[in-house]
Homo-oligomer: A and B are copies of this chain.
Amino acid sequence: MFQKVLIAEDHGLTGSGLRESLAALSIPEIIVVHYCDDALLKIKAALQHDKPFEILITDLSFKADYKNRNLVSGEELIAEVKKIQPDIKTVVYSVENRVGKIKTLYDTLEIDAFVGKERRDINEITKAIQQVLEGKIYFSESLKHALRSSENHLELDEYDILLLQLLAKGLKQEEIAQYFQERNYHASSLRSIQDRLGKLKTIFGAKTPVHLVAQAMERGFI
Contact = CB atoms under 8 A, between A and B. Distances in A.
A20 interface: yes
Given A34-B119, A208-B172, A16 B10 contact: no
Contact of A170 (B21, B63, B206): B206
Interface stretch (A39-47, A105-113, A209-217): A209-217
A210 B172 CA distance: 9
A122 B18 CA distance: 14
Given A13-B125, A125-B13, A170 B118 contact: no
Interface string A184-222: 000000000000000000000011111101100110000
B118 A11 contact: yes
Contact of A118 (B63, B120, B171, B208): B63
Given A12-B123, A13-B21, 12 more contacts: A10-B119, A11-B119, A12-B17, A12-B120, A13-B125, A14-B17, A14-B117, A17-B17, A20-B20, A63-B119, A169-B211, A210-B213
